[in-house]
A and B are shown apart, each in its own frame.
Chain A
């Protein structure tokens, strides 16, 4: 449906040249929703605007529905109105001087879809899709934020475009509303089956709405794949951070080919890597950690000694802040029977071998554990 190839875009601001998008290549299949995920400034919005035609890239090509809409090499740049897309903006961009009905009619008029206009059915269908039929004669200023965003959705879909572009549409909504509209969007995608690109900085949105995710950083795509793939196997520390592996432990080489926790005094961890690294970083989620009883039993994983800095008891779980070596870790785990954790208490935490991701030089490293018993 959409094929972006080698997209390049730079801006010059006050004499400096900023490479906003560098050599971005990806495809979106029919009916697929690709999410561009990244912090502000990573280039995701620029990519979107280049696809929409509001920005002109300096290099690369864009093919939409089998048609080339942009190709730097031959100087081809189709204006936005001819690309037959639907776009939903962060600040809704509903035209305040037109009623909701006229807002919805605008794309049909502009594209000269007289038949649909005359029938009137397309408008009602679009309004029904987003549950906005009662507001048709109102002006945007009379609607709430959530209602406006839904009208903006309907406007993007009303002319049945071949491709949809979403530019952080939920950022301006409060948390409750965001969840609701996100759910509606997901349903919409299932029902209508449009192909589209969704830009956001919110991980949960990305996971909820994307068939595939592309994590962007400094104008480039760091990793692209299905949510499960990225969730389970982030390829870089940057990506790992984005999918919730917020705990970070740095290991320095120790004697006997082992690695010891930086700032820690415990025994070395026997892991082996294929390459030599100056240091290794282990990343894992708060939920991935086990709280181990003081008396040791065999544990198929990494064991760390630490001290509790802060603890919140939640009945079945503990929310702990643990210092291990020079790192502070967040642990969210079930408490062993009869255990109590107060500030200053020692604690043993365990992380199974296949859980967590190891990184060397910022990129994913596959490690193997030595075949020996790990005991205290």
Chain B
């Protein structure tokens, strides 16, 4: 055997030699282009002036002179009682909402396929104008002139009550305010629990059932423990919502002196005691900021701004016969009944609590809508809402761009994310007060103009605008933008011709949703309104305060109609926008 051709004896060459002493490069070194800096600076200026300045000014006011206002606030009469009422209202209504919300979410999961549409029912109260629906409950359950009381009194068991002394139900009591608040918060809890149930998934429940567990046992021992995170997060957010409840205590609490922190703030503002008002708003401000800080990611998560896995949960186990009736009852109670009540009251020439269909007339509508004040209020509402949306959208787009692309670095995008979330976490009452105090100062003097309302609206809608557009950006992905840039398009052309058109439906849905929320805004608007610049919600409140039931009802119907139009637009424009709530 001959030896094979001799190959070299030396070892083979190494792969590419490493450069000796290669410098370790710091991660995150970037070079900024002038256009980026300008845009970021503009965004920063807008965010600071809309969100931070009013809040900071309030804090400074509360703390000035060594906290003199705080001391005075502590010394206000019956503060302890106010705080206790606030706390009780929040806790009890959240507890109620947790139970009801979980039950509704569970039922929604077990809807038969042909009744899947009913899963949307618990979401509707969120878009109904609270000021209108709470007024409706007032009409229903007022002790003397309430419709329900009127009906109850005709029953033999309640014969002891008369129209003079007041019927069995008194909606102006603490108990009923809690009940109504709880009913309203149930919608929010439903959103959280439904998301949590979707994560739990039907298989876990089916496994329990196959192992011999009854539906009740499966729910208590399997589903409920798995829902704990959703219950906790949802509970925390609903607690904050409960603590910042304003409309119900304001409208219904006056008679029996049911006072909470937010109504106290309003009370002192009406007395021009801004120092006291700001001091009293501090607990809410601190709590809200803590919530935004601590649950920044969770706020986005829990509110399910990311698109859900379809309407309701697919195949949520065996259908339950209770599902449709249960959801329908809730829908009737919270949506149909209030609207019908408003309709009835608005069509009755004079409201006594007794319904007489034969006297129905449209006179109230022509009268009320003929009033310049009412017409102006509707106009201002619509214009301010539209303006608010038109301004909030581009600001939100910019902010979403900064957060999404981390332009300007990770720190900046985190800060922007935080600041943009503040108007959602901090109660609207605080923002209303802050705007009133800051922007009516000399130098701004926006009080009495519609502009202060517009700016306030823009601020309140920032979180929605950012989150919804950010979600859309995330689901769009990078490649379409990259393809445009590689094809020679600059940043502006890329956004105008590629990114924005592709986000069309999300932006439209967001716009419709924000319009709905703004058109029935009351809580913050009531602080910045003036005699000549009213919005629908505040005008309705004025009518309520002067006791003209028919005008209240007409205004309420108008608000509901506008809301319905907005919701229809949202449903058409952005598929699943309502679910994205």
Partner-B contacts on A (CB < 8 A) = 6, 8, 10-12, 17, 22-23, 25, 52-54, 56, 58-59, 72, 75, 77, 79-87, 89-91, 93-97, 106-107, 110-111, 155-156, 159, 165, 220-223, 235-236, 272-275, 298, 300, 353-354, 360, 363-374
Contacts and interface: CB of A to CB of B under 8 A. Distances in A.
Given A6-B19, A85-B486, A95-B480, A75 B31 contact: yes
A85 B485 CA distance: 10
B488 interface: yes
Given A81-B490, A110-B489, A155-B487, A363 B25 contact: no
Contacts of A371: 1-3
A151 to B, nearest CB: 12
B176 to A, nearest CB: 50
Contact of A23 (B18, B26, B30, B493): B18
B487 A59 contact: no
Contacts of A58: 25-27, 29
Contact of A11 (B23, B27, B497, B502): B27
A300 B7 contact: no
Contacts of B15: 220-223, 235-236, 363
Contacts of A275: 11
B487 A106 contact: yes
A163 to B, nearest CB: 11
Contact of B7 (A82, A221, A368, A373): A368
Q: Which 10 pairs from chain A and chain B are nearest by CB?
A: A371-B3, A364-B12, A110-B488, A87-B486, A80-B485, A107-B487, A58-B25, A93-B483, A93-B479, A111-B488
B397 to A, nearest CB: 18
B578 to A, nearest CB: 24
B28, B29, B33, B488 — which one has the most chain A CB atoms within 10 A of its CB? B488
B479 A89 contact: yes
Contacts of B31: 56, 75, 77
Interface string B354-397: 00000000000000000000000000000000000000000000
Nearest to B497: A106
A75 B31 CA distance: 7
Nearest to A59: B25
Given A8-B25, A10-B27, A369-B4, A79 B485 contact: yes
Contact of B501 (A79, A97, A222): A97
Interface of B: 1-16, 18-19, 22-23, 25-31, 33, 478-480, 482-491, 493, 497-498, 501-502, 504
Contacts of B478: 54
B192 to A, nearest CB: 27
24 contacts: A10-B25, A12-B28, A25-B16, A52-B486, A58-B26, A81-B487, A86-B486, A87-B483, A87-B487, A95-B498, A96-B502, A106-B484, A106-B497, A110-B484, A110-B487, A111-B488, A221-B15, A300-B4, A360-B11, A365-B11, A367-B7, A368-B6, A368-B7, A371-B1
B480 A81 contact: no
Given A12-B28, A81-B490, A54 B485 contact: yes
A363 B10 CA distance: 13
A165 B486 contact: yes
Given A106-B487, A107-B487, A360-B11, A353 B27 contact: no
Contacts of A221: 15-16
Contacts of A156: 486
A111 to B, nearest CB: 4
Contacts of A82: 488
Given A58-B25, A79-B33, A93-B483, 7 more contacts: A6-B19, A81-B486, A95-B498, A110-B490, A155-B487, A220-B16, A300-B2
A365 B12 contact: yes
Interface of B is mostly: loop
Given A17-B27, A80-B485, A86-B486, A298 B12 contact: no
A235 B1 contact: no
B501 A81 contact: no
Contact of A272 (B9, B14, B27, B28): B9
A89 B482 contact: yes
A236 B11 CA distance: 12
B482 A87 contact: yes
B113 to A, nearest CB: 28
A95 B502 contact: yes
B12 A372 contact: no
A354 B16 contact: no
Nearest to B13: A235
A75 B13 CA distance: 35
A89 B485 CA distance: 12
Contacts of B10: 274, 366
B493 A110 contact: yes
Given A56-B31, A59-B25, A107 B11 contact: no
Contacts of A17: 27
Contact of B9 (A54, A75, A106, A274): A274
B485 A53 contact: yes
Contacts of B18: 23
A273 B488 contact: no
A84 B485 CA distance: 10
B106 to A, nearest CB: 36
Given A221-B16, A366-B7, A107 B488 contact: yes
A56 B27 CA distance: 11
Contacts of B30: 56
Contacts of A360: 11
Nearest to A53: B485
B3 A363 contact: no
A273 B8 CA distance: 9
Contacts of A54: 478, 482, 485-486
Contacts of A89: 479, 482-483
A22 B30 CA distance: 18
A298 B1 contact: yes
B11 A106 contact: no
Contacts of B479: 89-91, 93
Contacts of B11: 273-275, 360, 363, 365-366
Nearest to A272: B9
Contacts of A79: 33, 485, 490-491
A190 B501 CA distance: 37
Contacts of B504: 97
Contacts of A374: 1
Contacts of B29: 58
Of B11, B489, B502, the most chain A CB neighbours within 10 A belong to B11
A222 B14 CA distance: 9
A370 to B, nearest CB: 7
Given A58-B27, A77-B31, A80-B482, A363 B489 contact: no
A353 B3 CA distance: 10
Which of A23, A80, A354, A373 has the largest number of chain B CB atoms within 10 A? A80
Contacts of B488: 81-82, 84, 107, 110-111, 159
B25 A372 contact: no
B486 A80 contact: yes
Given A81-B490, A95-B480, A366-B9, A353 B485 contact: no
Contact of B4 (A23, A106, A354, A364): A354
Most buried by A among B4, B12, B486, B493: B486
Nearest to A17: B27
Which of B9, B23, B501: most chain A CB closer than 10 A?
B9
Contacts of B33: 79
A93 B480 contact: yes
Contact of A235 (B5, B12, B19): B12
A39 B556 CA distance: 64
Contacts of B3: 369-371
Given A8-B25, A363-B12, A366-B11, A372 B1 contact: yes
B539 to A, nearest CB: 42
Given A11-B27, A95-B502, A106 B5 contact: no
Contacts of B486: 52-54, 80-81, 83, 85-87, 156, 165
